[in-house]
């Protein structure tokens, strides 16, 4: 319904059943996940981001989680909200085991606020892929 209201309908939807797991930053809960694929264009980019953030808010309000390997829309505050103390523990372990942040990515810089000198600049905001 949110997609229809925004006039941005997905071309693919995948529903999967999951089980709970005890991994620190896992998406695993007893329940289901829904993945929606949209055609991204220069024209719909801003509206699509707004829709994704609105959908993320619905998931967060319901106590849901996110599959980080497939994510491109989460904001740091979303990750902090759903991981809670697990995020604090993750950051502690990361600082202990990788103090120079050699193992990182643009996504880690974006969602975990893990910054390093070099290729991953936490101050850089990821914008449109069309910039």
The whole-number pLDDT of residue 4 equals: 95
User: Residue 50 in contact with residue 128, Cβ under 8 Å?
Assistant: no
If you write DSSP's letter for every residue of 50-103 in order, what string do you get? HHHHHHHHHHHHTT----GGG-SS--HHHHHHHHTHHHHHHHHHHHHH-TT--S
State the pLDDT at residue 118. 44
Comparing CA positions, the residue from 95, 58, 93 lying closest to residue 78 is: 58
- Provide the pLDDT for residue 102: 86
Structure tokens at 47: 């509206």
For residue range 59-110, list pLDDT tens digits in order: 999 998 888 888 888 888 998 898 888 888 988 999 999 988 888 888 888 8
User: What pLDDT score does 114 carry?
Assistant: 66
Q: Element (H or E) spanning 108, and its range?
A: helix 106-111
């Amino acid at each position: 319904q949110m997609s229809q209201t925004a006039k941005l309908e997905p071309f693919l939807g995948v529903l999967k059943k999951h089980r709970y797991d005890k991994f620190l930053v896992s998406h695993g809960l007893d329940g289901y996940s829904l993945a929606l694929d949209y055609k991204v264009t220069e024209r719909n980019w801003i509206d699509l981001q707004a829709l994704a953030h609105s959908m993320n808010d619905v998931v967060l309000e319901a106590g849901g989680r996110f599959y980080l390997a497939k994510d491109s829309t989460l904001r740091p505050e979303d990750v902090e909200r759903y991981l809670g103390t697990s995020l604090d523990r993750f950051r502690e372990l990361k600082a202990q085991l990788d103090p120079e942040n050699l193992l990182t990515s643009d996504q880690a810089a974006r969602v975990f606020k893990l910054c390093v000198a070099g290729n991953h600049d936490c101050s850089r905001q990821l914008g449109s892929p069309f910039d």
